[in-house]
Structure 1
Amino acid sequence: MHPKRGSLLPLLFILSFAVIFLYSYHYHSSLHFSYSENPNPNLNPNPKPQRFTFTIKLLTFDRIDSLRRCLRSLVAADYGGDRVSLHVFVDHFRAVDPANESALLDRKLEESRRILDLVDGFSWPHGEKLVHYRTANVGLQAQWLEAWWPRSDDDFAFVVEDDLELSPLYYKFLKELILKYYYDRSNYSPFIYGASLQRPRFVAGKHGNKLWLDGETRLFLYQMVGTWGQLLFPRPWKEFRLWYDIRKAKGIKPILHGMVTTGWYKKMGERIWTPWFIKFVHAGGYYNIYTNFLHERALSISYRDAGVNYGKTAGPDSRLLDKKSLDFDLWELQPLKSLKWYDFCFREVHLGRIVRRYDELEYVLRSFKEQKTIILLSFYRTVQRIARNLICHLERVGLQNFILISDDSKFLSDLAQRGYPVIDANLLIGSIGTDKSDGFEHSDMNLMKEIWVKANVIKKFLELGYNLWVLDWNIIPISNSLLELPDPSYDFFAAKNVGLMYMKSSPTSLKVWVADFISNVAAVGKSLIGSNSVSLEHKNFVYFATKALEDKAVYHGTAKTGRTLELLYLSSVIMVLYGQQVTLINKMPVRWHSMGKFFLHHLRIIHMEDNWNDEWKKDQKAKWEEDSENEQVDWVDYSFQVMNILEQKRQEQNNGNRPNGVFSTTAYKNVVDTCIEKLQVSLTKANIKNRVKVLKEKFGIVYDIFKGYSGIS
């Protein structure tokens, strides 16, 4: 293939290389791998290549009729005079005992000879033909993984298994797709790993949406790999192979919770390769181009012949698209920005929602469409692995109306690429007006900058008509109860000791949350940050904002509600269960809901950035409440015992590795029995049974989170 070259090609190449070099570090940092092989995934490697190579990798085993059909379709395709290589990988038959199965052995040897004769005698006029006959059976995983190592960034592989039939139009379509979405800079994304020609039918997420597309959609992006005719781009494939080598060598399994493919792996093990690639795609935030030609048509169809994946032949999955059935413009490829992107659960993903300037907040908030209550989730000082699992947990409980804020620009860029809306506090702070700042935006204290950014972001939310929950610590709801307000008449709701706050966009809140008040919040923070009167756990934005509101407000009265809100507090891995008390504060008037009594349940699950505060720990007193049907047990000192015992038992069960399962009922009962003995508490069998139940329900949630719905290793 020889695309036309401009006369300025040498100069353009030099300039492109310079740009690649200058920007390489910035963009590769968004991919969270332990090496940096990719010089710059933001720019395509060669905007006007002299040529690119296209090689068909045909994988076959023992289905000679299927192979013959596949070869016929490949050779009959229209290659437009381009040079295309064909590499055939013939897997060896499985070992047979010659002493006891001599007849079977002879039959297998004869099948292999027939397949080799077919391939050797097959004429391939379009380019090089190469045959690789293995000396032993390696299975599909090795067949795929060892079929290709890209020679350059302009080397492409099209992998087909032998039970496929290809349309005569397939190559011309893939060529146009490569030129459009790989070599056209305006339509290039480093997060596209290739294109599948099979008809999209499968949603990998267990609780995903039905795969539905409107009739106007011809192309879209979907994370799932398609093994029935998959075009692979060179850079992502190299990155996958290196990623695979590291994890394979360390004995890490490609487990991705919530995925159907994890069940495949548990059943078939290393015989299949797709769970590995799916885990890589998830980790790197990659996507695959798919077609949608309607009427069950595709450029590649699988006959689903009996073999590794099918016990018996199932027949063709689709109808082959050819010139006769072509009733639309196949060569009209939409701009990349017009295509829709979908994750493994076939949920639409909106990429690039990153706020770097104050005036960009409105654009990102509008993407929430009809949702008027947003969760502002703070990821300051949060371990990335934990942050990813917390995001997955939010989605699992049905909370998707959240926006993430942090000062870690690299991490936020990666999250934005995955479709999550984010606020980059480091860049945002420079665009906030400074009339009332008192220089806080230039403070050397990171916490002061954090206070200033969050307070101004909240002001913008309220001005744009959005209600807001602020989760300031590593707190995560275990249900979607945050969408149900305790009392819609309240303008503010706060649990300052655990970093939780709600603000309603109302005439009253808009009068309160103004520039002068923001300065007051910052001033409170400045006065308390260096104070010994406030413990480390309380030095957070919500605490300072609550104090500023309390200073501004007038005490009016108290009331009680019977509602209970359950949260997990995961800074040092603490579970929080608290009952509500209402304090009504009236000025202007402001309706104010302040959380009073709450119970902290300590449980160490994993080594994190925890700061245990001895003084805070001493202030808590172990208190046992009467067991009842709706028991809320106040375990504090008791829970420190639980924490240590559970950690010990976790290490016994998992050899010190990250938790990969919950405890058995017996293990939980042992924990309770041990704590009863140490604390010398007298409990009935019913009491003990109830405490075991609470341990399993509440602590089990923490384990589920750290097992990793996101599957991060």
Structure 2
Amino acid sequence: MPRTYIPTTCVTGVPCEYQDELDFRIIVLTYNRPTSLRTCLSHVANLDTLGDRVGVDIWIDRSKDGKVNNKTIQIAEMFKNTWKRGKVTVHIQERHAYIIGQWVDTWRPQENSSEVALILEDDIDISPLSYKWLKLMDSHFRTVSDVGGYTLQMENVNYVKGRHHPVTNTRKTDNVFLYRLLGTWGYSPKPKEWRRFQDWFHEMRKNKTFKPYVPGTVLDNWYKKFEREARADCMWEMWAVYFYNEKNLYTVYSNLLKYTGRMETLLDTNRREAGLHFSARERVNRSGLLLTQWSSKFERFPSDLPRYNFDGTVSNP
């Protein structure tokens, strides 16, 4: 007889605030890709947690008709029963949350929280040193007022003003750079700014005439196309891009590829599994390029980091 799964105590559509406060919380978002989830969690299992208090919250969405993929649940439960370096919680959405609900409502940081969180979709593989890097970024940028978060994303980072073209003009002397656009392939928002975003998002969603357009960017064109196709909610990040842009917030990106001249410096990689944005033929495996060797050079930050606009121009050297 199939097991009955009770939905999480958090309510779908309402940001979930956890009772415990950790050093590092990993939020894994999944739906019906059990094999992809297994691969993602195998990389989480190899993470260097530095002896800190770490937890993993796996959020499984339901289909529009309320069904949940049992194989996906089995993979999540197996990880829960075998991972020994922190608390693992498997959450089942009580109804279909879609990708927008999965992203916006699965981590509500406590007031004045110092918790570092990483939000991952199940097709992301992370470097075993990704927490070491995020912890370093947080220690350096937590009090920098125009930084809204940090991303592990190094692949497919593009300037999006007017047209889509790769970031190429970062300085070789910088181990990181600050860019106006969020990097959603492994995103770690600052707690204070994420709370502000969640409050704003849920208030603005009540206004059916409001559109989170950012004119002049290719993202704006994509979002309007999705609107015409009645699937705008699959581009949840448009809301965050609008909010962070309005608040003049930047995201910290790694520049290790240019800084070191080595290919094996990825902090995470996207397998491009079949789903909302990719087809089966686009799947890749670049996990061999994940960073496995740390250097003290990564901990040296220049004092004059430039802020890059959507088009790659520098707004504040």
Once the two structures are TM-superposed, the CA of residue 137 in structure 1 deviates from its matched residue by 2.3
Identify, as 1 or 2, the structure richer in helix: 1
* Secondary structure, counterpart of 1:308 in structure 2: coil
What is the aligned partner in structure 2 of residue 383 from structure 1? none
Matches within 5 A, 1:253-268: 253-266=211-224, 267=226, 268=231
Seen in structure 2, the aligned counterparts of structure 1 residues 194 and 81 have a Cα distance that, compared at 3 Å, is same
Distance in structure 2 (CA, Å) of the matches to 1:167 and 1:341? 26
Let me know the Cα RMSD of the aligned residues.
2.2
What is the aligned partner in structure 2 of residue 192 from structure 1? 147
8 Å CA contact 1:156, 1:231 repeated in 2? yes
What is the aligned partner in structure 2 of residue 168 from structure 1? 128
Matched, 1:303 2:266: no
* Secondary structure, counterpart of 1:298 in structure 2: coil
Distance in structure 1 (CA, Å) of the matches to 2:287 and 2:216? 28
What is the aligned partner in structure 2 of residue 290 from structure 1? 253
- Of 46, 61, 75, the match for 1:76: 46
* Secondary structure, counterpart of 2:58 in structure 1: strand
Once the two structures are TM-superposed, the CA of residue 59 in structure 1 deviates from its matched residue by 0.3
Matched, 1:278 2:241: yes
Once the two structures are TM-superposed, the CA of residue 148 in structure 1 deviates from its matched residue by 1.1
Once the two structures are TM-superposed, the CA of residue 347 in structure 1 deviates from its matched residue by 1.2
Matched, 1:85 2:55: yes
Matches within 5 A, 1:42-61: 53-61=23-31
Amino acid paired to 1:80: L
The TM-score with structure 1 as length reference comes to: 0.37
Matched, 1:204 2:160: yes
Amino acid paired to 1:332: E
Amino acid paired to 2:159: V
Distance in structure 1 (CA, Å) of the matches to 2:84 and 2:287? 28
Matched, 1:224 2:181: yes
Once the two structures are TM-superposed, the CA of residue 319 in structure 1 deviates from its matched residue by 5.4
Matches within 5 A, 1:76-475: 76-95=46-65, 112-122=69-79, 123-153=82-112, 154-182=114-142, 188-199=143-154, 201-207=157-163, 210-212=166-168, 213-251=170-208, 252-266=210-224, 267=226, 268-294=231-257, 295-296=262-263, 297-312=265-280, 313-316=282-285, 320-323=289-292, 328-329=295-296, 331-335=298-302, 337-350=303-316
Distance in structure 2 (CA, Å) of the matches to 1:334 and 1:245? 36
* Secondary structure, counterpart of 1:270 in structure 2: helix
* Secondary structure, counterpart of 1:338 in structure 2: coil
* Secondary structure, counterpart of 1:116 in structure 2: helix
Distance in structure 2 (CA, Å) of the matches to 1:132 and 1:82? 23
Distance in structure 1 (CA, Å) of the matches to 2:23 and 2:50? 14
Distance in structure 2 (CA, Å) of the matches to 1:344 and 1:241? 23
Distance in structure 2 (CA, Å) of the matches to 1:87 and 1:242? 22
8 Å CA contact 1:208, 1:346 repeated in 2? no
Once the two structures are TM-superposed, the CA of residue 197 in structure 1 deviates from its matched residue by 0.7
8 Å CA contact 2:176, 2:254 repeated in 1? yes
Once the two structures are TM-superposed, the CA of residue 124 in structure 1 deviates from its matched residue by 2.4
Q: Which stretches in structure 2 are left out of the alignment for 5+ residues?
A: 1-20
Once the two structures are TM-superposed, the CA of residue 338 in structure 1 deviates from its matched residue by 2.5
Amino acid paired to 1:82: D
Deviations 1:532-574 (A, max 9, x none): xxxxxxxxxxxxxxxxxxxxxxxxxxxxxxxxxxxxxxxxxxx
Once the two structures are TM-superposed, the CA of residue 113 in structure 1 deviates from its matched residue by 1.1
Amino acid paired to 1:179: S
8 Å CA contact 2:22, 2:54 repeated in 1? no
Distance in structure 2 (CA, Å) of the matches to 1:215 and 1:321? 20
Amino acid paired to 1:61: Y
Deviations 1:307-359 (A, max 9, x none): 111133331467533335x6x54542304x321211112211126xxxxxxxx
Seen in structure 2, the aligned counterparts of structure 1 residues 318 and 338 have a Cα distance that, compared at 3 Å, is farther
Seen in structure 2, the aligned counterparts of structure 1 residues 226 and 67 have a Cα distance that, compared at 3 Å, is same
8 Å CA contact 1:166, 1:320 repeated in 2? no
The TM-score with structure 2 as length reference comes to: 0.81
Seen in structure 2, the aligned counterparts of structure 1 residues 210 and 309 have a Cα distance that, compared at 3 Å, is closer
Once the two structures are TM-superposed, the CA of residue 95 in structure 1 deviates from its matched residue by 2.7
Question: How many residues matched?
Answer: 280
Seen in structure 2, the aligned counterparts of structure 1 residues 177 and 52 have a Cα distance that, compared at 3 Å, is farther
8 Å CA contact 2:163, 2:218 repeated in 1? no
What is the aligned partner in structure 2 of residue 101 from structure 1? none
Once the two structures are TM-superposed, the CA of residue 226 in structure 1 deviates from its matched residue by 0.9
8 Å CA contact 1:150, 1:156 repeated in 2? no
Once the two structures are TM-superposed, the CA of residue 135 in structure 1 deviates from its matched residue by 3.1
Distance in structure 2 (CA, Å) of the matches to 1:208 and 1:66? 28
Distance in structure 2 (CA, Å) of the matches to 1:310 and 1:206? 23
Amino acid paired to 2:198: R
Once the two structures are TM-superposed, the CA of residue 86 in structure 1 deviates from its matched residue by 0.5
* Secondary structure, counterpart of 1:348 in structure 2: coil
* Secondary structure, counterpart of 2:212 in structure 1: coil
Matches within 5 A, 1:590-669: none
Q: Which has the higher contact order (CA 8 A, sep 6+)?
A: 2
Distance in structure 2 (CA, Å) of the matches to 1:332 and 1:271? 36
Distance in structure 1 (CA, Å) of the matches to 2:124 and 2:72? 16
Matched, 1:65 2:35: yes
Distance in structure 2 (CA, Å) of the matches to 1:284 and 1:114? 41
* Secondary structure, counterpart of 1:349 in structure 2: coil
Deviations 1:508-540 (A, max 9, x none): xxxxxxxxxxxxxxxxxxxxxxxxxxxxxxxxx
Distance in structure 1 (CA, Å) of the matches to 2:48 and 2:297? 14
Distance in structure 1 (CA, Å) of the matches to 2:204 and 2:287? 36
